[in-house]
Amino acid sequence: MAKSRIARVTPNMLKCIEELRAALKNLPAGESRTTAKGALDYLERTFAGKPQPNRGLACEYPRIVIR
């Protein structure tokens, strides 16, 4: 890992978020959709510069990070 813990959000990354958001709409209701929505929300919060849970350190999946 790089010494800096800051990742730059590029236009390509923002486009990927848009594509994921569109794909999420086509998922049927259920656990997969709920988990995918949580993951997308987490990425959007991170890209917006909001602090990550546990300062971005590894945590136990699935409930700490993805809500």
Token digits of residue 44: 């959007």
Mean pLDDT of the chain: 78
pTM of the model: 0.67
Parse the chain into domains and list their residue ranges: 11-56
Token digits of residue 8: 């730059």
Per-residue CA distances from 12 to 8, 57, 65 (Å): 11, 25, 23
Q: What is the DSSP letter of 53?
A: G
Q: Which of 67, 25, 64 is closest to 56 using CA atoms?
A: 64
**pLDDT score of 7:** 72
User: Helix 11-25 vs helix 31-47: angle between axes, to the nearest 10 degrees?
Assistant: 160
pLDDT higher than threshold 80 for residue 62: no
